[in-house]
């Protein structure tokens, strides 16, 4: 049985963690399936947006404890995988199921409900936007097990919250309700129906030029934490490449004619 479902419709891919009986906890198989799904979507033509969600009433309860326990007898192998990413890759085997979503050029929206903790929260944080239901509960849970978050947390959290806030959450493994999680930057918006809201947001993004949407993602990811002035050349180069392109001209012409645009 597949632990991950992928549906693609009119340029929108919906990727669903499919272990509802286990609160969608990440099994060893799911680690591989998430990464393979990201690679597949990187090569999918005409893809415009991705939604990450969980089957049932929870997003993800972190790493499956049975999987975690199975690592204990092979700690040297595990340490080797952590210290030595596959050839040609930046992320190691444990990081890449999350980090692959940062590497997609299209926007990734996480539709979250219920439990979203540990590795599940790190997966959600690798989405560009997180829409969460009012019953959502979040925690950087790793300290409970004597560990630190290590699935790409360093690549995302600095864009979302202050260092002191991150330290407090990591050091305490505190569980946060939706409103508190939104206040510290873990949630973009609280919505009544996360999947419906994610679909509506994806439709809104897909109505814009793909170069503008994907360019906005790249611009923020590449410049958000740079020292003052260092992002200027990056934004200028991106804009110069977009300006005058067929889709940019179509956006202008459609706007002037007050008609829906037809992007390539």
pLDDT at residue 71, as a whole number: 86
CB atoms within 10 A of CB 179: 11
**Is there a contact between 220 and 237 (Cβ–Cβ < 8 Å)?**
no
Q: Which 3 state secondary structure label does DSSP give 103?
A: helix
pLDDT (0 to 100) of residue 41: 98
Cα 155 from Cα 1, distance rounded (Å): 32
**Looking at the predicted structure, is the pLDDT value of residue 255 above 90?**
yes
8 Å CB contact between 225 and 159:
yes
Residue 166, pLDDT score: 96
Residue with tokens 């897909």: 206
- pLDDT single digits (tens) 60-108: 999 998 988 888 888 898 899 889 998 888 999 999 999 999 999 999 9
In the predicted structure, residue 221 carries a pLDDT above the cut 80: yes
Q: Average per-residue pLDDT in the chain? A: 95
DSSP for residue 114: S
Question: Looking at residue 130, what is its pLDDT?
Answer: 98
pLDDT at position 69: 86
Give first-to-last CA distance, the chain, whole Å: 37
Q: For the chain, give the percent of residues with pLDDT over 70.
A: 100
Give yes or no for residue 123 having a pLDDT over 90. yes
Q: What is the pLDDT of residue 20?
A: 96
Write down the pLDDT at residue 72: 86
Please choose, from the candidates 168, 166, 172, the residue with its C-alpha nearest in 3D space to the C-alpha of residue 186.
166
What digits encode the pLDDT tens for the residues 159-178?
999 999 999 999 999 999 99
Residues of the chain with CATH 3.90.226.10: 4-204
Give residue 1's pLDDT: 66
* pLDDT tens string 77-87: 889 988 999 88
pLDDT tens string 11-22? 999 999 999 999
pLDDT confidence of residue 250? 95
126: closest CA among 140, 108, 141, 139?
108
* CATH domain 4-204 topology: 2-enoyl-CoA Hydratase; Chain A, domain 1 (3.90.226)
User: Chain-centre distance of CA 100, in angstroms?
Assistant: 8
Ordered alpha helix ranges (H), 84-173: 96-103, 119-125, 153-156, 163-172
Checking if the pLDDT of 194 tops 70, the result is yes
Least Cα distance to 36 among 55, 15, 22 occurs for 15
């Amino acid at each position: 049985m597949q632990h991950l479902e992928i549906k693609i419709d009119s340029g929108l891919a919906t990727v669903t963690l499919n272990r509802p009986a286990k609160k969608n906890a990440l099994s060893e198989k799911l680690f591989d399936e998430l990464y393979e799904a990201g690679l597949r979507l990187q090569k999918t033509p005409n893809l415009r947006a991705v939604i990450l969600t969980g089957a049932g009433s929870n997003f993800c309860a972190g790493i499956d404890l049975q999987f975690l326990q199975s690592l204990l007898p092979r700690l040297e192998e595990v340490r080797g995988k952590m210290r030595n990413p596959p050839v040609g890759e930046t992320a190691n085997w444990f990081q890449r199921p999350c980090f692959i979503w940062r590497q997609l050029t299209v926007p990734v929206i996480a539709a979250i409900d219920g439990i979203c903790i540990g590795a599940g929260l790190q997966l959600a944080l690798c989405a560009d936007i997180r829409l969460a239901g009012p019953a959502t509960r979040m925690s950087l849970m790793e300290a409970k097990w004597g560990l630190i978050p290590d699935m790409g947390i360093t690549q995302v959290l600095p864009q979302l919250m202050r260092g002191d806030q991150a330290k407090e959450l990591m050091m305490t493994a505190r569980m946060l309700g939706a409103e508190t999680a939104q206040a510290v930057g873990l949630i973009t918006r609280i919505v009544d129906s996360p999947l419906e809201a994610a679909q509506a947001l994806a439709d809104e993004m897909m109505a814009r030029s793909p170069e503008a949407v994907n360019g906005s993602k790249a611009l923020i990811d590449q410049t958000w934490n740079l020292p003052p002035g260092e992002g200027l050349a990056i934004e200028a180069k991106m804009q110069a490449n977009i300006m005058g392109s067929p889709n940019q001209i179509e956006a202008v012409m459609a706007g002037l004619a007050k008609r829906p645009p037809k992007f390539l």
